[in-house]
Amino acid sequence: MIFTTHDVSQLSSELFRRDQVWFSEKNEYGASELFRCSDMEGVWLNTPLDKWYMSGRFGATPIINDVEFLIAMQD
């Protein structure tokens, strides 16, 4: 099963293993790149994934700053 969410509370080691958590990030061409949490250096079993994600340590953007996107989402 695959699902996507922006709910940071789902980044719990009680719910998922590190190899089950993937992040996506758009590159300079607008294409999404996927990377697995367990492939990243320094991520251990007790790593607080939610805190690291919100601080931007995984590279995936936790907060959307695209004004056009935010305006479109309000319609």
Q: Is residue 1 part of a domain?
A: no
Residue 23 tokens read as 């992040």
Q: Is residue 66 part of a domain?
A: yes
The answer to whether the CB of 23 falls within 8 A of the CB of 59 is yes
Amino acid at 12: S
Q: What is the pLDDT of residue 68?
A: 67
* Terminal Cα-to-Cα distance of the chain (whole angstroms): 31
> Is the pTM above the cut of 0.95?
no
Q: Is residue 3 part of a domain?
A: no
Contact residues for 59 (Cβ-Cβ < 8 A; gap 6+): 23, 25, 35
Query: What is the count of structural domains for the chain?
Result: 1
Q: Is residue 65 part of a domain?
A: yes
Q: Is residue 58 part of a domain?
A: yes
Q: Is residue 2 part of a domain?
A: no
Q: Is residue 47 part of a domain?
A: yes
For residue range 9-46, what is the model confidence (pLDDT) as tens digits? Answer: 888 778 888 888 888 888 888 888 888 988 888 888 88
Query: Residue 47: which domain range?
Result: 8-74
- Please report the sign of the dihedral spanned by the C-alpha atoms of residue 10, residue 16, residue 2, residue 56: positive
Angstrom distance (rounded) from CA 71 to CA 46: 38
At residue 60 the predicted structure's pLDDT band, cuts being 50, 70 and 90, is low
At residue 5 the predicted structure's pLDDT band, cuts being 50, 70 and 90, is confident
- What average pLDDT does this structure show over 60-69? 64
